[in-house]
Amino acid sequence: MGDGKFRIGIVAPASRIEPALAAHVTALAARIYPGRAELVFHPQCFLANGHFAGDDAARADAFLEIANDPGFDALWVARGGYGSNRILARVLPALNGAAKAKTYFGYSDAGFVLGALYGRGFCVAHGPLPADLRRQGGDAAVTRALRWLMERAPDALEPSLDGRPTAAFNLTILSHLIGTPFMPDLSDHVLMVEDVDEHHYRIDRALFHVTAALPKLAGLRLGRCSAIPDNDPAFGQDEVAIARHWCAQSGIAYLGRADIGHDVDNKVVPFGCPPLR
């Protein structure tokens, strides 16, 4: 910006956050980048409409207000949850040239938005959310996100990135995105997936779908699948064995683990082929 500040607009396309969380994230940014980072939490972040941070129209309008404003350098998704998919049909046709010039950042349910925008040529990246500050040690995750947004810090990146086109998603979100008009072309991409709170059989089902639908992937990396519920009877394979199985079935190279997940160690994965240094 002309005043030397990097302005980050924050919206909640799915679930709401508390004002106290916004205050804590703003204070953290001010300590790390005094006078340089300006975080603007849209008031919509604090609305409540059942599960959602306001109704679909309110969430879409807030997204567009930040995205289409040339005064913002980036749009950061406040929290995951569920609901980003419900605003895509309203948001995408209304984006302007200023929206194309900024970076979009988040993960989890935000994968709906990131995937749709990436398919339309926007700059997007998978990485920590302001809501991650609620996790123990979450200041490290939020700091990592800020360091990448503000200065493209190389040590914030997922370490296996090698210059090939790459994308990262929550596995369940990606599985539901496939087959819709909002799914980007991931041919020749290294795909990284992670998940949380899903049984092994659901991970198996989602990887069956993803690998069958995306046979032209350059390879697949498995992030952390955390808080996996117990199943009776036990599924009999862990998530690594499941990923290896479906990669072998589909002919997609299994490339090992990825340092992403629903946790404070979640690393940044820019989509496409961004410079890594």
Question: Each residue's pLDDT tens digit in the chain (277 positions)?
Answer: 557 899 999 999 999 999 999 999 999 999 999 999 999 999 999 999 999 999 999 999 999 999 999 999 999 999 999 999 999 999 999 999 999 999 999 999 999 999 999 999 999 999 999 999 999 999 999 999 999 999 999 999 999 999 999 999 999 999 999 999 999 999 999 999 999 999 999 999 999 999 999 999 999 999 999 999 999 999 999 999 999 999 999 999 999 999 999 999 999 999 998 776 5
CB of 249 closer than 8 Å to CB of 210: no
- Give CA separation, 97 vs 68, 101, 218, in Å: 7, 7, 32
Contact, 217 vs 189, CB < 8 A? yes
* 140 SS3 class: helix
- CA distance between the termini of the chain: 23
Strand 103-106 versus strand 123-126 pairing type: parallel
- Residue 269: its H or E element: strand 269-270
- Max intra-chain CA distance, the chain: 61
Q: Pull the structure tokens for residue 39.
A: 């975080």
Return the amino acid letter for 258: A
Q: How far apart are CA 202 and CA 47, in angstroms?
A: 32
Angle at alpha carbon of residue 209, lines to 205 and 211, rounded to 5°: 115
Question: CA-to-CA distance for 21 and 131, rounded, in angstroms?
Answer: 7
Q: Which helix (H) or strand (E) holds 194?
A: strand 190-196
**What are 8's strand-pairing partners?**
39, 74
Nearest to 114 by CA among 187, 56, 177: 177
Q: What are phi and psi of 25, to 5 degrees?
A: -65, -40
3-state secondary structure of 196: strand
DSSP reduced 3-state for 270: strand
pTM above 0.95, yes or no: yes
**Helix 239-250 and helix 200-213: axis angle, to 10°?**
20
